[in-house]
């Protein structure tokens, strides 16, 4: 019997790094973004359904995220149709991971976990957090978006304080050592809960 922990957090909060710390601590980690990349890659399960719905989104046998963005900008209602194709495939990928994984703790790295109402599917949820100025600095360091784009994305995500209120665990990612220490405490807490269950 394994314990399913949902891991979430807004853009730039250190979620991917924290997921690696859970893997270091012996947990099996499933990454929603990586699952979408697999589905969109050549031969991926989303390629043909996407080609049927949006032929211009498939380039060189793979679903092109940039093309999808252009489609959504031109027709915002396209997002719903894209989600109808992708969400069931992502859920299938997650279910396959859950069936195959042998670790005692399974961590599910899902950016919009609370926004999508998915927290009920897990035994507990951890959210990552950092001060707003650290969050923005991290995103700007990537060099992949403007400050305006970052603020637009952040405005669409649930406020950090609301995530804190709904999560079972909050991991402050101010330093790597502090984040690692908190992850180890959470893993120890979950293992103790499993022994006492």
Q: Tell me the pLDDT tens digit for each residue of 97-130.
A: 999 999 999 999 999 899 889 899 999 999 999 9
Per-residue pLDDT at 188? 97
What is the spatial distance between Cα 132 and Cα 177, in angstroms, rounded to a whole number? 20
What is the spatial distance between Cα 51 and Cα 103, in angstroms, rounded to a whole number? 37
Q: Enter the tokens of residue 194.
A: 């499993």
Question: Is the confidence at residue 197, as pLDDT, over 80?
Answer: no
Question: Is the confidence at residue 194, as pLDDT, over 80?
Answer: yes
How many domains are there within the chain? 1
| Domain residue limits at 53 | 3-196
- Long-range residue pairs from 78-82, CB within 8 A, at least 24 positions apart, any chain: 78/54, 81/53, 81/54, 82/50, 82/53, 82/54
For the entire predicted model, the pTM comes to: 0.90
User: β-strands 105-109, 3-8: how paired?
Assistant: parallel
Count CB neighbours of 163 within 10 A.
Answer: 22
Per-residue pLDDT at 91? 93
Can you give the CATH number for the domain in which 113 is found? 3.40.50.300
Q: Enter the tokens of residue 60.
A: 């060189």
């Amino acid at each position: 019997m394994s314990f399913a922990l949902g891991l979430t957090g807004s853009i730039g909060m250190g979620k991917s790094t924290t997921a690696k710390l859970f893997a270091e601590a012996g947990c099996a980690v499933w990454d929603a973004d990586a699952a979408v990349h697999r589905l969109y890659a050549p031969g991926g399960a989303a390629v043909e359904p996407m080609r049927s719905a949006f032929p211009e989104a498939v380039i060189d046998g793979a679903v092109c995220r940039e093309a999808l963005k252009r489609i959504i900008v031109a027709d915002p209602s396209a997002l719903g149709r894209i989600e109808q194709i992708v969400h069931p495939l992502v859920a299938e990928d997650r279910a396959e991971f859950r069936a195959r994984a042998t670790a005692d703790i399974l961590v599910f790295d899902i950016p919009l976990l609370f926004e999508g109402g998915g927290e009920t599917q897990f035994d507990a949820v951890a959210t990552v957090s950092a001060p707003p100025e650290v969050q923005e600095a991290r995103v700007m360091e990537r060099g992949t978006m403007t400050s305006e784009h970052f603020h637009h994305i952040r405005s669409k995500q649930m406020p950090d304080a609301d995530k804190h209120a709904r999560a079972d665990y909050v991991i402050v990612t101010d330093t790597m050592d502090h984040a690692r220490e908190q992850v180890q405490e959470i893993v120890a807490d979950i293992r103790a809960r499993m022994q006492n269950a």
